[in-house]
Amino acid sequence: MLSIGELSKRTGVKIPTIRYYEQMGLIEAPERSRGNQRRYTKQGLERLSFIRHGRELGLSIEDIRELISLSNHPESPCGDAHQIASRHLVSVQTRIAKLKRLEKELKRISTISDPGHIGECNVIKSLANHKFCETEH
């Protein structure tokens, strides 16, 4: 059995976050010691590690909740889990494409030569003259 502090050290998840995951129902409320301290099992450690890895991959809490629910039925087909991963991959790829456009524009405006006065600064002018595009948000 692990205390919440030990669990935090082993998983790298901060104590308030562990409590939050408990409140959200992502990890089961642990047993309590006579001193009313939380005592986590190996399964609690494994679940918290699963959640942490999912969060590191950028999965939403809701996606993680779905994956946990799926993992509770090991005999079920894997398609739903693949669908969650695929959906997240599309989201990541979309963000990467936006970041690449952002990088290209920042490179462009940062390399423009200026006369040296803010009143003539092309970075400021580029930002002020940018046309809003519906697809950019």
Alpha helices in 25-121 (DSSP H): 42-56, 61-71, 79-110
**Which two structure tokens, joined as six digits, stand for 23?**
């409140």
Looking at residue 12, what DSSP letter applies? T
Report helix, strand and coil shares of the chain as percent, to nearest 5: 65, 5, 30
Provide the pLDDT for residue 137.
47
Provide the pLDDT for residue 87.
97
Provide the pLDDT for residue 132.
57
- Global pTM value: 0.77
Phi and psi for 38 in degrees, rounded to 5? -65, 140
Compute the distance between CA of residue 108 and CA of residue 117 in angstroms, rounded to an integer. Answer: 19
Determine contact, residues 51/27, Cβ cutoff 8 Å. yes
Determine contact, residues 32/38, Cβ cutoff 8 Å. yes
DSSP reduced 3-state for 9:
helix
Averaged pLDDT for residues 76-82: 94
